[in-house]
Amino acid sequence: MPKDVYDLTDLRDWQAVTAEGQPPIRVAVFGDPVAHSASPPMHNAALEALGIPSRYARVQVKPDELAEALQLLRAGNFVGVNLTIPHKAAAPGLIDEVDEHAQTLGAVNTISVDGQRLRGFNTDGPGFVRAIRADFSVDVRDLRIMILGAGGGAGRGIAVQCALERCERLVLVNRTFAKGALLRDELSSRMSGPELLGPVERLEAVPWERDAIQRQLENVDLLVNATSVGMKFSDPPLLPGVLLPPHLLVYDTVYSSGRTRLLQNAAEAGARGANGLSMLLHQGALSFEIWFGREAPLDVMRTALNDAVG
Ligand code: NAP
């Protein structure tokens, strides 16, 4: 019987454990926890639509099991895996090659098994860029961006990607201010250059304080929520709705089928918003293309994601 979630013990005897299921599982997501992951329905729909004889599964892998789990990929005849919480930062030290982009981000979310070599990539940042383009018809490089939760895993990845794109302005906000300040120092060389913005800094870390955020929003086009606040609708509002000006684009990385409270506040303020489903979709599509060298069927994947999350 195919399982909802496999584990390291299964990986050790993968061919035997999965012998009954067809087509064979050749792609997976490793995480801890992993049971909630929406990636399997999205990828399985794509595999089926393109007639690729493979399935995608969830594998529960604890942090101290990651090295062994990755080494078992070759024997298991895997094409590749995604990595999710908490494995992205540990992976670069455990595989054979890390592409330059993932090295800069310091995190790998996609591994491909290329002969005997495990090669690492990061599609989260590029997935964010594609999501912004798809949702708002604008390029990240043309935007002044504020990231709430810039010191967390997702926030850091998005901030580094925005700096790599050389966005017009980047404002880093984190509840623990020191993490935002450290990231500002890391990114300063990438965000230097001609000062086009008048009195405001091109790259800033600001404390999580209402007045400081309100002042900064006057010079921001895109607000990104990369905190974990909003995953439950009962969560307290991230920012008072009155702080959101109508010109703002609001992207909430929290993915849900409907509006988060932040997006509801944005809509009430007359601002445009989008939720994190599009980032999940585009990072998944990019992983798919790395593994199978074919264009991912976005519409099929989007429908499967909406069904899974909704
Ligand atoms: P993480 O590494 O644990 O980071 C959590 C972040 O949230 C930190 O910056 C933390 O600030 C901040 N935070 C937590 N509680 C807060 C509060 N009450 N007030 C203000 N800030 C608070 O988590 P993560 O993996 O980056 O995930 C963060 C979010 O990104 C989640 O909502 C997740 O769903 C989303 N995400 C979406 C996608 C996608 O594809 N759409 C992909 C990955 C993640 P401190 O540093 O002060 O603790």
Number of alpha carbons in the 13 Å side-chain half-sphere of residue 216: 25
Strands (E), the chain: 5-7, 25-31, 55-60, 80-83, 97-98, 110-114, 117-121, 144-148, 169-174, 203-207, 222-225, 249-252, 272-275
pLDDT, one tens digit per residue, over 178-194 is 999 999 999 999 988 66
Q: How distant, in Å, are the alpha carbons of 142, 179, 204 from that of 184?
A: 19, 9, 6
C-alpha 208 to ligand 1 mean position (Å): 14
Q: Candidates 129, 132, 158, 175: which one to mutate for ligand 1, based on the most atoms within 8 Å of Cβ?
A: 175
Residue 280 CA: which ligand 1 atom is closest? Answer: 40
Structure confidence at residue 1 (pLDDT): 75
CA 282/CA 267 separation, integer angstroms: 24
pTM of the model: 0.94
The answer for 139, left when phi > 0, alpha when psi is -120 to 50, beta otherwise, is beta
Strands (E), 166-221: 169-174, 203-207
88 is catalytic: yes
Q: In degrees, to the nearest 5, what angle opens at C-alpha 92 toward C-alphas 87 and 93?
A: 100
Residue tagged active-site, from 3, 88, 179, 232: 88
Structure confidence at residue 263 (pLDDT): 94
Residue 230 CA: which ligand 1 atom is closest? Answer: 32
Structure confidence at residue 196 (pLDDT): 60
CA 205/CA 146 separation, integer angstroms: 10
C-alpha 155 to ligand 1 mean position (Å): 7
Partners of 58 in the beta sheet?
Answer: 5, 29
- pLDDT averages per 10-residue partition of the chain, 310 residues: 92 92 95 94 98 98 98 97 95 96 92 96 96 98 97 92 95 97 95 70 95 96 94 85 95 86 94 96 98 98 92
CA 231/CA 299 separation, integer angstroms: 25
**Phi, psi for residue 68 in degrees, rounded to 5:** -65, -40
Q: Which residues line ligand 1 (CB under 6 A)?
A: 85, 149, 151-155, 174-176, 179, 226-229, 231, 253-255, 276, 279-280, 283
pLDDT, one tens digit per residue, over 233-274 is 788 889 999 999 999 999 999 987 678 999 999 999 999 999
Query: Hey, whose CA ends up nearest to atom 13 of ligand 1?
Result: 227
